[in-house]
A = this chain, B = another copy of it.
């Protein structure tokens, strides 16, 4: 059930990879479509894809000549859960109740 989060946090540490995830959030795309949106070379992108796959943040499916990448929201949720875990239960330091008079 548990997954080691280290690869996920490593994967999220790079801005290019976060941008890839952000794109995939809008919907699945082929490697080529993603590559067209970035200035770095396709092999470099492919390297980032590998890291995202290793972290299980993206899934792939071959469609003819193309490889379609899609977001695996579950793993992102888990990273989220781990960050949330930093906040003790019942911590309401960031809550507001709307009773502000102004």
Number of interface residues, chain A, beta carbon within 8 A: 25
For A70-102 the 0/1 string (1 means CB < 8 A from B) is: 010110110110011011100101100000000
Count copies of this chain in the complex.
Answer: 2
Answer whether A15 and B22 are a contact pair too, CB < 8 Å, given A83-B83, A84-B80, A93-B73: no
Name the residue of chain B whose CB is nearest to the CB of A80.
Answer: B83
Main secondary structure of the interface of A (DSSP, over half): helix
The answer to the question of A38 belonging to the interface, with a C-beta cut-off of 8 Å to chain B, is no
In angstroms, Cα B10 to Cα A10, docked, is 8
Which B residues lie within 8 Å of A12 (CB)? 9, 12-13, 83
B80 touches A22 (CB 8 A): no
In angstroms, Cα B83 to Cα A10, docked, is 14
Name the residue of chain B whose CB is nearest to the CB of A4.
Answer: B15
The answer to the question of A47 belonging to the interface, with a C-beta cut-off of 8 Å to chain B, is no
